[in-house]
């Protein structure tokens, strides 16, 4: 098991989502090996006998340490329970990497669900878990995204395909936007291209990209980026 390096944290900065297993290892400041990830998958609260669970726990402990294994298992079980409810404080997970199909796979497959980094950081804070400072900083955006999770939109559950595409673009490009650093903002062209790649008409995609753009951002190239000729 490796500690998280600054270079790896920078990769996380560019990720709109992570697999649940990777997010859980991230929460204890570790980079999972394939073997450790598999062993966490095999430990499932409601699967197998107490003896088989102890065997799986010991295998994981042999890879990352007993204290870390127990904490990781506890966090996995808590996260999976909170992913299966629709209530304030729930953890919103997705069954696909495009972040359009909400839901939580059960059992072994739960580790392959996707979760937004900001949502997961906010969930960690609600659970009062001790997490790396670099992960905790995402929690403010996550609280904004998950507040009132029982309602997908301010007006309630009503939505359309275009609204779902709008939400997907917001999650993909604006979750980790830092108002103090304009270089973290995507261009409208990037957002529109993302939407047209998902089947949205180009004129509609351009409008949606403009709707999502943060207030006060100046048009044109971002600071530090050379304008295209």
Structure token pair of residue 190: 């990037």
Task: Report CA-CA distances (Å) from 47 to 54, 135, 188, 207.
Answer: 12, 30, 47, 48
Residues in contact with 31: Cβ distance below 8 Å, sequence separation at least 6, in sequence order: 1, 2, 3, 4, 8, 25
User: Given phi > 0 = left and psi -120 to 50 = alpha, else beta, which region is 216?
Assistant: left
Distances in Å between the alpha carbon of 150 and those of 87, 91, 222?
Answer: 5, 11, 36
| CA distances from residue 148 to 78, 154, 157, 193 in whole angstroms, order as listed | 20, 9, 11, 30
Per-residue model confidence (pLDDT) at position 110: 81
> Is the pTM for the entire model greater than 0.85?
no
- Chain centroid offset of residue 200 CA: 24
Q: Tell me: the pLDDT tens digits for 184-203?
A: 888 999 999 989 988 899 99
Predicted confidence at residue 207, as pLDDT, reads 95
User: Which is higher by pLDDT, 142 or 76?
Assistant: 76
pLDDT at residue 84 above 70?
yes
Q: How far apart are CA 17 and CA 197, in angstroms?
A: 19
Tell me the domain boundaries of the chain. 2-146, 151-229
What band does 228 get if pLDDT is binned at 50, 70 and 90?
very low
Calculate mean pLDDT across residues 80-91.
Answer: 80
Question: DSSP letters along 111-174, please?
Answer: GG-EEEHHHHHHHHHHTT----HHHHTTHHHHHHHHTTTT-SBTTBS---HHHHHHHHHHHHHT
More confident residue, 102 or 28: 28
């Amino acid at each position: 098991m490796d500690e998280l390096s600054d270079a790896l944290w920078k990769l996380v900065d560019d990720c709109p989502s992570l697999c649940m297993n990777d997010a859980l290892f991230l929460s204890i400041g570790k980079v999972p090996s394939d073997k450790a990830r598999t062993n966490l998958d095999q430990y499932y609260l409601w699967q197998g006998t107490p003896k088989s669970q102890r065997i799986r726990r010991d295998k994981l402990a042999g890879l990352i340490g007993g204290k870390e294994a127990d904490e990781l298992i506890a966090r996995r079980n808590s996260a999976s329970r909170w992913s299966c409810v629709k209530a304030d404080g729930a953890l919103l997970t997705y069954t696909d990497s495009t972040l359009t199909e909400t839901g939580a796979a059960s059992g072994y497959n739960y580790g392959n669900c996707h979760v937004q980094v900001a949502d997961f950081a906010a969930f960690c804070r609600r659970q009062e878990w001790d997490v790396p400072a670099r992960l905790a900083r995402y929690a403010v955006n996550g609280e904004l995204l998950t507040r009132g999770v029982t309602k997908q939109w301010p007006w309630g559950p009503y939505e359309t395909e275009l609204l779902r595409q709008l939400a997907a673009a917001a999650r993909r490009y604006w979750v980790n936007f830092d108002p103090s650093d304009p270089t973290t903002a995507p261009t409208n062209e990037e957002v529109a291209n993302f939407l047209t790649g998902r089947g949205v008409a180009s004129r509609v995609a351009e409008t949606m990209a403009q709707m999502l753009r943060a207030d006060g951002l100046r048009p044109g190239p971002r600071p530090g980026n050379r304008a295209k000729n």
